[in-house]
Amino acid sequence: MTMRMDQERCRTGVFVSSELSALLIGAFALATASCGRDAAPRAATESRAVEVADSGGVMVVELGRVEKLSAPKLTPTLLHSTSQKEIELFRVTAAVLLDGGGVALGNSGAYEVLLLADDGSVDSRAGRRGEGPGEFEEITAMIRSPDGFLVYDARLGRMNEFTESGDFATSWSFGSGRSFMDLKPLARGTEGETLSVVGESRIFYPDGVRRDTTPLLMFRQPEGDPDTLALLPAAEWSYHLIPGGGGIRFRFEVGFGRDVVAFGREDRVVFGETESLDLSVYRTDGTLTRRIRGDGGGAEVSADEVSAWRAEELAKRAELPPEFLAVVETVPHNETFPALETAVLGPGEMVWIGLHARPGDETRAWLVIGPDGQARGRMDLPAAARVLAVGADRFVLVRRDELEVEDVRVYAY
């Protein structure tokens, strides 16, 4: 069912486009939650219990104040890691949990998918560098499929399908293929419909601060043109003209800035933004199935935290010329913290919520919301690590050491 809506705009420049399902329209009111910065905030509750209700077939989960949420502490147990097995990695971008305890890793810099056995050893390798069937130039996304997994190559604009054992099955391009720069497929339905967003390939705007957007695209069939379902509020950027740089403009992320949350698993996607803890889960047909809300974020950023953040930014760009580093010193920042950093979707619409870590924090708190909507627990993980995939009883993360050497770890919890 579709309906026509006028474009609704807010001060971030985000609007909901026309021709999208009625359910999706209501749901993406949350995706433009940045418009709600001027609205009265939801009353904070002191409840320590999670309230779960059904609203027209949608599970509504109310967490209350996150810091007061009563949730057991989860202690992960390391099952295996690539460093233990002396497996060399080069820019791991995605992972899929397989049946039987295996894991498929998108080892993009080596143009391959590594298939790890349940003990962490390399079972097989899929792909190689090239433009032929089952070959890669840049692996940017992976999706679990009924018979194996899908691997998207953004440079070639092509999806490759493999069996669970790593045998190449087929491939296809979306629309006109390479014309969709930085496409990131998130989930694929049983009818072949695919939900995707676009990454951070953007044009430079004039000097100043701008809240970016990313389109939510639905490819009903791979070869067809996509429907633009919405424009989601994305990263906050600061654009600068480099002094003496011959007119070169450079962009930097605003300190403690807001961003989009978009993570897919099989035929489901979780959407939201880091401004507030308000997440929604959809099927690929646009049906809203779950809503998770809570009170968190908004704490004032201290002067010491600003200094720590700026020092981290300068350290990351130490190799830049002095005129660039001088600009880093002037990059603006928000006065309050976002509510969360990211969210990861698991089986049965389980949602892992990675809360925002303060500068200098060694760990990030994660809330695990189970399929029943209750808080399964709280877990502390390295703040710099990225969770790639979660299952019912295990998860995958990647972290880098001070020399940028990657280590993928699989934990039970």
DSSP characters over 298-318? -PBPPHHHHHHHHHHHHHHTT
Q: Can you give the pLDDT at residue 289? A: 97
Q: Is the pLDDT of residue 16 over 50?
A: no
The pLDDT score that the predictor gives to residue 48 is 58
More confident position, 247 or 358: 358
Torsion sign (Cα): 37, 43, 49, 51: negative
CA–CA separation, 33 vs 245, rounded Å?
37
Is the confidence at residue 65, as pLDDT, over 50? yes
Percent of the chain scoring above 70 in pLDDT = 85
Band of residue 14 on the pLDDT scale cut at 50, 70, 90: very low
Full-model pTM: 0.87
Query: Tens of pLDDT along 355-404?
Result: 999 998 999 999 999 999 999 999 999 999 999 999 999 999 999 998 88
Q: What is the mean pLDDT of residues 283-297?
A: 94
Least confident of 15-29, 119-133, 176-190, 238-252: 15-29
Whether pLDDT at 42 is above 80: no
Q: What is the mean pLDDT of residues 255-262?
A: 96
Which residues are paired to 211 by β-bridges?
A: 236
Task: Give me the pLDDT at residue 225, please.
Answer: 87
Write out pLDDT tens, residues 172-205. 998 765 567 789 999 999 999 999 999 876 666 6
| pLDDT on residue 176 | 62
- Annotate 258-278 with DSSP letters as a single string: --EEEEEETTEEEEEETTSSE
Give residue-wise pLDDT tens across range 320-353: 888 888 988 999 999 999 999 999 999 999 999 9
> For residues 378-401, b (16+ Cβ closer than 10 Å) or e, as one string?
bbbbebebbbbbbbeebbbbbbee
pLDDT beyond 80 at 250? yes
